[in-house]
């Protein structure tokens, strides 16, 4: 999903929670907001840096847009032949880790809420674009899926 949409939805979500649930408070809402659009998608930038050695945000943006354009031209059966990118913050596995951490450090509950909201937005977006929803639902699935698949980027 486009970062702009994540910021808009994340803002509406965290503001709504702030007004609807007293216990959340301003700092809690702020952490939820920050986690819902920024924190979780850092894995996209980390992946770019790992692949290219570059820390340039402009470079990252151009790279993503370019690869997206090429990807969108491919047919559904064609897409199936390729590896799915691994995003280490997207999936049920990082959610489980956050869940465990939340028991140790209660502030992590806010991160978990923001990240879960982001995940729901991503999954709906993938579904609407007829992409493989499982690709962002489980890292283990991606690892198994990628065996013997063509490299994309």
Q: Provide, rounded to whole angstroms, the least separation between the CB of residue 121 and Zn ion.
A: 8
Enter the DSSP assignment of 33. Answer: H
Choice between 37 and 109, CB closer to Zn ion: 37
CB closer to Zn ion out of 5 and 74? 5
Alpha-carbon gap, residue 48 to 114, rounded angstroms: 23
DSSP 36: I
Q: Which range binds Zn ion by CB under 5 A, 58-66, 95-103, 121-129, 140-148?
A: 121-129
Is residue 36 close enough to count as binding Zn ion by CB under 5 A? no
User: Is residue 122 a contact point for Zn ion (CB under 5 A)?
Assistant: yes
Minimum distance from CB of 82 to Zn ion (Å)? Answer: 19
Restricting to residues 80-119, name those near Zn ion by CB under 5 A: none
Which residues contact residue 33 at a Cβ distance below 8 angstroms, ignoring those fewer than 6 apart?
10, 11, 13, 14, 15, 114
Question: Measured from the CB of residue 118, what is the shortest distance to Zn ion in angstroms?
Answer: 6
**Alpha helices (runs of H) in 21-134, residue ranges in sequence order:** 25-34, 42-52, 57-72, 76-80, 92-104, 108-128
Is 48 among the residues that bind Zn ion (CB under 5 A)? no
Interface with Zn ion: number of residues (CB under 5 A): 2
DSSP 8-state assignment for residue 150: B
**Residues at the interface with Zn ion (CB under 5 A):** 41, 122
């Amino acid at each position: 999903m486009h970062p702009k949409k994540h910021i808009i939805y994340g803002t509406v979500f965290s503001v709504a929670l702030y007004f609807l649930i007293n216990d959340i408070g301003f700092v809690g809402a702020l952490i939820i907001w920050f986690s819902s659009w920024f924190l979780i998608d850092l894995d996209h930038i980390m992946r770019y840096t790992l692949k290219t050695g570059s820390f340039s945000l402009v470079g990252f943006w151009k790279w993503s847009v370019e690869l997206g354009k090429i990807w969108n031209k491919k047919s559904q059966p064609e897409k199936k032949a390729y590896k799915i990118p691994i995003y280490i913050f997207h999936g049920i596995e990082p959610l489980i880790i956050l869940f465990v951490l939340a028991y140790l450090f209660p502030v992590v509950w806010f991160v978990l809420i923001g990240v879960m909201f982001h995940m729901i937005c991503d999954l709906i977006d993938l579904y609407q674009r007829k992409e493989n929803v499982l690709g962002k639902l489980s890292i283990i699935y991606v690892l198994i899926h990628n065996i013997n698949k063509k490299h994309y980027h």
